[in-house]
Structure 1
Amino acid sequence: MNTILQNQLPFIKTFVVTVLFSFTLLLIRVIKTDSTFYLFLVWNLFLACIPYAITLILCSQKTNSFIFWIGFACWLVFLPNSPYILTDLQHIKLSTLESVWFDVLLILSFAINGLVAGFASLSIIQTSLQKKFSNKIANFIVYFILLLCGFGIYLGRVLRWNSWDILQDPTGLLLDIAKRILFPYQHINTWFFTITFGVFLIIIYRMMNHYEIRKIK
């Protein structure tokens, strides 16, 4: 078995258990409320796991630089889907006083799974980048990627774009992005959202890495 896949097996086993827990919570809610409203969380979690699947495929075998960067670009496009589920907490406003605590737990369980899957894929990519660049450059790229995730989340949550629109409507997507880059002062909310969410992701990612390093020591 490939070394990377072998090293990831403990994480994959634990991740499957936590995902089953999330699905159990969702099933309980469907049964108790006779509502399928939160079934979209399953699709969102599926999208959140795509970056992790891409990294396993990309880094589990030897590839030339061209293939690696093509895979890296695909991975980068889907990565914002991983932390995106955190913004699904906005649906709590639709919950009743009796169900709000359960709905918070339900959404957070999916959101944390998505975030962890994204960070796991980012950690694998960071290791690959460290083989190609110095640690400082690799770290800078990782932090920039997390800021891009903040921007990607804005595109998805506020402007309602998704990863598939790169193929379905690339012109419209690029025009929306270009307007915010060329006229930043007219889109202050875009950059405030991007920076605050990006910094939040950087902080959480650093905390998780620090914990892993201390645990290894």
Structure 2
Amino acid sequence: MLKRISPLEKMLAVAIAFTMTLLVVRVLRYHDNIYIFYIWNTFLGILPLIFSRRLAGMSGIHLRSVGLMACWLVFFPNAAYMVTDIFHFSERPPVPLWYDLLIVSSAAWNGLLLGIISLMQVEHFLARHLKGLWVKAIVLVSFVLCGYGVYIGRYLRFNSWDAVTNPETLFFTVAGHLFKPYHHLGAWAFSIGFGGMFGIIYYTLQQLHHHKKSAPQNEERFFIS
């Protein structure tokens, strides 16, 4: 059974509803469905959160939890992928430029939140069963894997379903990147760069959470001193 929806997840639902409302109004008002793909991309971005919530309710590392982890990892890049949808942003009269900017920027934020919250839940699960050093290593590797997943999705046009429907092509593509990295410097530069950006945002939000929890105590020390 899924755990109760957290306040952070409630805000995420509000953020997604905001973007979807903007999108629906755009279609009804201007009869332009250029950004209708955000509905599908948002659905794909929600999938890793669904897997991570199920994983968070697991009591140990076993075949089922490992399977959920694998499903989460396959779909994890779909959330952050939404950041790159900003490439579709351009002026499209008569739609106001600022209106489309709200759509693409809020959708990018939704994608980041979906990825970050799901990773937080996975990290919390791992922290209950593994040593801290292993957990940190897995999280750091997940940043790069996320960036790599976004790269092969955006530039090579692979998607998560290709792991089942087109595994041979996907396997040889990934193998080429792994065993001949010097021939694919752009792929790894993007993967590390995007993963680094995602990691900075991830740890920044974590620190904001810790700062909020310790703020009353810090303020008390400030006034005493």
Confirm or deny a common fold (TM above 0.5).
Answer: yes
Match of 2:7 in 1: 10
Match of 1:158 in 2: 155
Richer in helix (by share): 1
CA distance in 2, matches of 1:216, 1:22: 30
Aligned with 1:177 (options 174, 178, 184): 174
TM-score, with normalisation over the residues of structure 1? 0.92
Q: 1:94 Cα deviation (Å)?
A: 5.8
CA distance in 2, matches of 1:10, 1:126: 18
Is 1:198 aligned to residue 195 of structure 2? yes
RMSD: 1.8
Q: 1:61 Cα deviation (Å)?
A: 3.9
Match of 2:56 in 1: 59
Percent same amino acid among aligned pairs?
A: 33
User: Could you tell me which amino acid in structure 1 is paired with residue 3 of structure 2?
Assistant: L
Q: 1:111 Cα deviation (Å)?
A: 1.7
Aligned with 2:127 (options 121, 125, 130): 130
User: After superposition, what is the alpha-carbon deviation per residue over 1:38-80, rounded to whole angstroms, capped at 9, x for unaligned?
Assistant: 1100110110010111111222243552211111011000000
Structure 2 unaligned blocks of 5 or more: 215-225
Match of 2:184 in 1: 187
TM-score, with normalisation over the residues of structure 2? 0.89
Structure 1 unaligned blocks of 5 or more: none
User: After superposition, what is the alpha-carbon deviation per residue over 1:180-199, rounded to whole angstroms, capped at 9, x for unaligned?
Assistant: 11111111111111111010
CA distance in 2, matches of 1:62, 1:132: 9
User: Could you tell me which amino acid in structure 2 is paired with residue 40 of structure 1?
Assistant: F
In terms of mean alpha carbon deviation, does 29-38 or 119-128 score higher? 29-38
CA distance in 2, matches of 1:76, 1:37: 29
CA distance in 1, matches of 2:144, 2:62: 24
**Count of residues in correspondence between the two structures:** 214
Which has the greater radius of gyration?
Answer: 2
User: Could you tell me which amino acid in structure 2 is paired with residue 185 of structure 1?
Assistant: Y
